[in-house]
Chains A and B, each alone.
Chain A
Amino acid sequence: MLEIEWNTSTILAEVFYCMIGLILLLVGISALKNKNAEKNVTTAIFWFILAATFIIGPYIPTWITGLCIIGLAVLTGGGFVKPAAVNIPTAEETRANADKYGYKSFIPPVVLALSAVVVATVFSSLGANNAIGISAIIALIVAIIIFKPKLSTPFKDGVRLTDNVGTTGILPQVLAALGSLFTAAGVGAVIAAGVGALIPEGSHFIAVAVYCIGMALFTMIMGNGFAAFAVITVGIGYPFLIAQGANPVVVGALGLTAGYCGTLMTPMAANFNIMPAALLETKSKYAIIFSQLPVALVMLVIHILLMYFLAF
């Protein structure tokens, strides 16, 4: 079983995870009810398993949760999970609402972002990550006061967007788990040994450059900054930067965006660079990548300099 040190912050976190579990459960139920959709039963099973890990996960042996994740992977890998795409507001509906409410629809998102920062800074004992949950609830209350919607509407919209984000939504969580398996199996040590030869002892600047360029290159190969981040931070970021006294917050924050410089330069990131080119009917398939190349390279150099000056 997962060991949890129970205090206000962890109890609150579990409450939020249960709420997420509830939303996931609703996505599953909505899929189940949507009988016209393809593979609606297996889609529902996916969301139900995921909901279970969020709600009862901490109270059952961890290997069962591990098994659940393999189950989720089998379902998505086999193509058994399809978005239900229900309750999408029509263009007429959003236009009519826009004319009715004007720029008021920007208020709740601003409340969401600002209250998250305020809660995290002022009530830090509640656990900084819980601030997201608290601010989401505050913003929802503000939105309900402004729009006075039917009580079911926010639920429907939450389910709609969760369904829309779909299986990629849990990818960060699974990648973090991959990172921990990599660490347990000693992958970080192997990369560190290989890269270590490249970095002269005590040269912080070269270490920063190798980390940032490594992030960009790996992201270019995989087309996914998230996956690169787990691997490169375990293998290079920790041993050569953080363990040498670099500020982990700076390394982490700039590490991921250094990877995004790679995203701008690779056809592997098809949904950002190739699909939109098709959408815009460009003559060259690579028109977007060519256009982004100078910005990506300049930003990568800036990342290296910024990380070096801010982290040490």
Chain B
Amino acid sequence: MGDTIKLIGIVIVIIGFVLKFDTLAVVVVAGIVTGLVGGMSFMDILSTLGSAFLTNRTATLFILTLPVIGLCERMGLRDKAVDFISSLKGATTGRLLSIWQAIRTVCSAFSLRVGGHAQFIRPLINPMAQAAAIAQYGEIDEKTEDEIKGMAAGTENYGNFFAQNCFMGSSGTLLIVSTLNEIFKSNGIATEVTANQIALQSIPIAVISVVVGVIYALWYDTKLKGKYKK
């Protein structure tokens, strides 16, 4: 035992997240408890929490981009994205999902909120992907329907997750920057990383995610063909 008790904060975070308690409250409680078992005084904990919160205000800089993004949404940004998708013709399920994933990834890299399961996948992408399969093979069974739904929802997640850090103002990028700089500071190292560096270094994996996603979607096309072709 001994030092192992210091891991109690992690246990609190895991239990809190699993039981779906309020995230912010769980994190703050975990921090305070960890500090106490680590032998810090309550005043020390408050000061550490306060000063780390202030130096990490960079992580919340993204709020400055919200007025312009909100304005563009009001001016029809999402509607035009829908227009573009609907104008595509003659696509198979896999090709359609590939194109959508590419678009979703680029938008995500530019911090455009063109996406969302509720806004895009349910009303637009899934119906089109299902329709493409039906147009090609006539009837499809329930299992295939479920698979296509899963594929469609996946494209949203891949594009969202693997490309969002390409934008230097994204909350993920800013989290990486503040976490690394906080580590450097507490270890007495005079280095700093910047959001720009993280954003540029996030590009390769974003590109790779599209390649992997497209291969997967096109493989799914051949799987469908194998299943339904007489």
Contacts and interface: CB of A to CB of B under 8 A. Distances in A.
A187 B9 CA distance: 9
Interface in A71-118: 72-74, 76-77, 79, 89, 93-106, 108-110, 112-113, 116-117
A198 interface: no
A302 B211 CA distance: 12
Nearest to A98: B76
Interface string B66-79: 11111111111111
Given A147-B75, A255-B176, A302-B212, A102 B80 contact: yes
Interface of B: 3-4, 6-7, 9-10, 13-14, 17-18, 21-25, 27-32, 34-35, 37-40, 43-80, 83, 109-112, 117-118, 121-122, 126, 142, 146-147, 149-154, 156-158, 160-162, 165, 167-169, 171-172, 174-180, 182-184, 186-187, 191, 193-202, 204-205, 208-209, 212-213, 216
A186 interface: yes
30 contacts: A19-B64, A61-B47, A62-B47, A65-B49, A67-B46, A69-B50, A74-B25, A128-B196, A129-B58, A132-B64, A132-B65, A132-B195, A139-B65, A143-B68, A157-B70, A169-B171, A172-B174, A177-B53, A183-B186, A222-B18, A226-B175, A252-B176, A252-B177, A280-B121, A282-B150, A287-B150, A288-B157, A290-B150, A291-B154, A302-B205
A245 interface: no
Contacts of B80: 98, 102-103, 105-106
Interface residues of B: mostly helix, strand, loop or mixed? helix
Contacts of B9: 178, 181-182, 185, 187
A190 B30 contact: no
A308 interface: no
A70 B186 CA distance: 23
B64 A249 contact: no
Given A76-B25, A257-B165, A170 B60 contact: yes
Contacts of A23: 63-64, 66-67
Contacts, number: 482
Give the interface centre of A105, A162, A282 by most chain B CB atoms within 10 Å. A105
Interface stretch (A29-37, A199-207, A270-278): A270-278
- Chain A interface size band reads 35 or more
Given A132-B65, A158-B66, A292-B157, A54 B74 contact: no
A252 B193 contact: yes
Nearest to A64: B50
B54 A161 contact: no
Given A72-B24, A104-B75, A275-B117, 15 more contacts: A57-B54, A70-B49, A94-B74, A105-B75, A173-B57, A179-B182, A187-B7, A248-B184, A249-B201, A252-B177, A268-B18, A280-B117, A280-B152, A299-B209, A302-B212
